[in-house]
Copies of this chain bind each other. A is one copy, B any other.
Amino acid sequence: MLTHDAIQSGPFKSTLARAQVPGAEAPTGAIEMMGAPMSFKRNSEIYGENEPAEYLYKVVSGTVRTYKTLLDGRRQIGAFYLPGDVFGLERGDQHTASAEAVTDAKVIVVKRKSLFALAQRDAEVARDLWTITSVELQRAQDHMLALVKTAEERVAGFLLEMADRASAKNQIELPMSRQDIADYLGLTIETVSRTMTHLENTAAIELPSSRRVVLRNRATLGRLNG
C-alpha cells in the first residue's frame, strides 16, 4: 500500500487546481484550500480496495481509474477521472474500490477528516460534499444503464461520454488502453476493437490512430446510445 506521509506539508495550490477546472460541475472550493498536491506515475496505485479511506482526491492533470476486482481476477472499472474530477470520497472508512493512475497524474489530496470537520461548521462545504457524492451517484447510475446495452451501444456511449468531457468536442485523445475501455464497458478487448472498426466502416467515427478518435456522425452515435 501507498502511504501519504508528509502530504500535509505540501505547498498550497488552490488557484492552480481551480484554473484547471473552469466549468467544473462540482463546486469544490474547500478542497484546493486544504489539499496538498501529489504525483503518481502511470499505472501506479493511488489507493487499494479495503484500505483505510483517509483521503479524498481531486485530479489536477492526467487520468485516474477506479475499479473493483472479482475473486477470479475479472476487473470492473467504475469510472475514469479527468482533471477537475473528485474521487475517493466514500461512506465508511474503507475504500470500496482501488484507484490507479492511467497516465502520469497530479492530484490534490485532502484529509477526509478535516473536510468533514469543516463541513460540520460550514454549510456550504457540507453541500459541496453532498454534491460530489451526488455527481458520482449519477455517474454510477448512468454507467449501470450502459452495462445492459449492446456492445455497439456501449462503445458509442463511451465515445460520446469522453467527447463531452474533452475540450475539443469532436476530436478525442483516449488516455486509456483498449483493455481499460473493455473493463469499463464490461466487454473484451477484441469486441471493443471490432466495434471501433465497425463504427469507422460505418463512417460514424474516424480513427487516425488507435488512441485518437474523431466523431464524424454524432446523430448515429446518439441513436446507438439508446
Contacts and interface: CB of A to CB of B under 8 A. Distances in A.
Contacts of A131: 91
A71 B126 contact: no
Interface residues on A, range: 35 or more
Given A130-B129, A130-B133, A226-B72, A138 B96 contact: yes
A138 B91 contact: yes
A175 interface: no
Contact of A144 (B72, B147, B226): B147
Interface in A113-142: 119-121, 123, 126-127, 129-131, 133-138, 140-141
Given A91-B131, A130-B129, A186 B97 contact: no
Q: Can you tell how many copies of this chain the complex includes?
A: 2
Contacts of A123: 119-121, 123, 126
Residue of A96, A133, A136 with most partner-chain B CB within 10 A: A133
Interface string A170-203: 0000000000000000100000000000000000
A136 B133 CA distance: 10
A2 B168 CA distance: 41
Contacts of A78: 141, 144
A130 B131 CA distance: 9
Given A130-B133, A138-B90, A140-B140, A148 B74 contact: yes
Contact of A140 (B71, B91, B120, B144): B144
6 contacts: A71-B226, A91-B131, A91-B135, A96-B138, A121-B123, A126-B126
Interface of A: 68, 70-72, 74, 76, 78, 90-91, 96-97, 119-121, 123, 126-127, 129-131, 133-138, 140-141, 143-145, 147-149, 186, 226
Given A68-B141, A96-B138, 12 more contacts: A70-B145, A70-B226, A78-B144, A90-B137, A91-B134, A119-B127, A120-B123, A129-B130, A133-B134, A136-B137, A137-B137, A143-B144
